[in-house]
Structure 1
Amino acid sequence: MYDRIWTPFFSSRFTQITTNLNINTSDTFEVPKAALSSAATPRNASAPFIISWKPIPSDAEVYLYLHFAEIQTLQANETREFDIIMKGVFNQSGITPPKLERLTVFSAVPLQCDLDGCRLELVRTPKSTLPPLINALEAYTIIEFPQLETNSSDVVAIKNIKATYRLSKISWQGDPCLPQELSWENLGCSYANISTPPRIISLNLSASGLTGSISPILQNLAHIQELDLSNNSLTGSVPKFLANIKSLSLINLSGNNLTGSVPQNLLDREKEGLVLKLEGNPELCKISSCNPKDKKELLVLVIAPIASVLIAIVVVGLFLVFRKKKVPLGESSSRHIIIK
């Protein structure tokens, strides 16, 4: 939960105890029951329980979360109570873990470790008959990011794209571009300088199971240079707004189910150097004549001259036929035979 990995942390100075009983962990900290069902106590029952580690960097500030639960059955005359001390900067007194129930003690402000690292001590109080106990420990190191956060309009746009297409990429959490080594998968960002917010300049959603039409929210990525929506199940037409994104140098829409004709303004951009990939869309045409209405008009234009020629041929043919059948008057008198 919350992207945490819980690992064992025992040494020869510790004694491990476990339980098979259920432990109440229902709260916002979401500590796994497997982590709470085991605990460590100091092997020397009268000595402090010391946990030390070196954060990176060694003088880093940390937030501490200490989880306790009593997993042993105590006798009537037994008591477990201890103080928590960390170099005088963090002190909690009289901690008594509740029976089979989680108790979390945490630092509200970051704690400064020194060059030797962090040293945490659980010290048994005078009235305690049992040594200190701890079930789990979380220490979060503060990491400073000098780079400004991703441009807010780009953040809103990419989150809307994520919601529109119901994308569930694991890495799509937090700031899209920062930290740079943990930027969102299939997302490219520009990093001009630490005083300029990063901008999203490429988005690759190839083979991401996209359905429906090409959403207008894509145009809200005002600095995007490369857009890859290939090999999905997108339907509808190629939108005109893509041509209005002047920063685009590559658009890959191949391998979808797009229909109709490609907008002329987008074809004009292609002449200016835009790389436009459209193969794999059987019902998509890159010429305006692929529009059904345009086809009808073209058909009328083609049929009209052909019909005129045919009519002319028929008229000439009929004229010649009737001409042969009709006998001229001058020839009629010279061919008569007179019987007297």
Structure 2
Amino acid sequence: MPLPLLPLLLLLSLLPISLSQPKGTLINCGAVVESKIDGREWLPDSGFVSGGGTPKTLNISGLVPILTTLRSFPNIAGRKYCYNVQVYRNAKYMVRTTYYYGGINGPSSPPVFDQIIDGTFWAVVNTTEDYVNGMSSYYEGVFLAQGKTMSVCVGANTYTDSDPFISALEFVILQDSLYNSTDFKSNGLSLVARHGFGYNGPIIRYPDDQFDRFWEPFGETINDSSNANVSVSGLWNLPPLKVFESELTTNQSQPIELNWPPKPVQDANYYIALYFADSRDRVFSIFINSVPYYKDLNVTEAGLVVYATKWPLGGTTNITLTPSSGSVLGPSINAGEAFQVLPLGGSTLTRDVIALERVKESLENPPPNWNGDPCLPRQYTWTGITCSGIRVVSLNLTNMGLSGSLSPNIANMTALSDIWLGNNNLSGPIPDLSSLKILETLHLEDNQFSGAIPSSLGNIDSLRELFLQNNNLTGQVPNSLTGKSGLNLRISPGNSFSAPPPS
């Protein structure tokens, strides 16, 4: 295991705390009308979801409103179902998905399935333990909007036989200062744990947290004492003041040991932020799994956070707070956040993806799983698409019942070597494909294409097969094709070409 990066220390607030409502988009999945819950507007999901699914209602008393409806999707392995939400490009978002099964699909145990954001595998959604305990489950992350939309998808897999589902989806804009030590153009943050230590009340959230992040009680007290006299004015991650009203501490000069995050974590790099504030003189060192994290931390009532951007963890984590030499009082801690650092794998803004979206728009009935990122994750590539990394290298939609036109934007997918669109109901002109310099096969037979054959097809040196029979093409067959060496050209029957003029 490589040595962790040194943690960084920030003492004072950079931004004032605002009490304004969180800004963003709240989606009540499965709902059919708008609703106001705790003063915030929740939208029905029909305008955001692609790939179908069925809205369902749970008739269970005592549920909070957003858990009473959900959207369920067919359990077809390799199929992903996506929510596409308009966002502000280059804005940072807290994204939260919420799940409550309620036995809606019959089996007593909830399904297990995948969760994907902008083509990056985010998490395996497994709500079984929470459901047995009568609770909903949520997954939260921090991601940068790299375009004008973001997609969150649930992916059906072979983990279980039940249909995947989702209850709610939230996009909340975060201020620039939050988590700004992370390179969000290359990474996202997936929440592992966020706790108030020494706190045993209900989850701290909006309005105490202006971004409606959830701060759970840690459920363990070591000489819990009031910390109401501290004067924290806000740290750069803007934790709520309420987390500083209690602390996990000992008044004796002895260590505190915590198993936190509470559950084992997978081998990865983690963003860890620990929050402290105390009006008494406490000096101590912090160790994570016996590795020094910060030495001789002097806690003040102004508040501070110690954080590391990429700390390697795996399995059970032990945090030890050890009083420094000569310290009369023991250590204390108020709150902590831990995120897994997710390397982004999506191809959302590539030229190929933009071109495929235009092709999709030109089709009246695109294939059912053309949702989210076409190439990533690899187990959820679009039907008929073959990718090499994030480049689309072949398009095979033969006999798919497609109708509509073929967008000229297909010519922007310059890594294409094969296009098979035969035996569909595509109509309109054949676009200029001369920019596809490595195209080897072009099958457009048995459609309803009309107009002339573009002579520019003869300029593609690599072209070896061109099948155009059984369309409504007219005009003359270009000499650049009839005289092209090594080309298997099929243009009849089924077209109405005129004879070439006499030489």
State the TM-score, normalized to the length of structure 2.
0.33
Is the helix fraction higher in 1 or 2? 1
- Which one has the largest radius of gyration? 1
The higher relative CO (CA closer than 8 Å, separation ≥ 6) is in 2
State the TM-score, normalized to the length of structure 1.
0.46
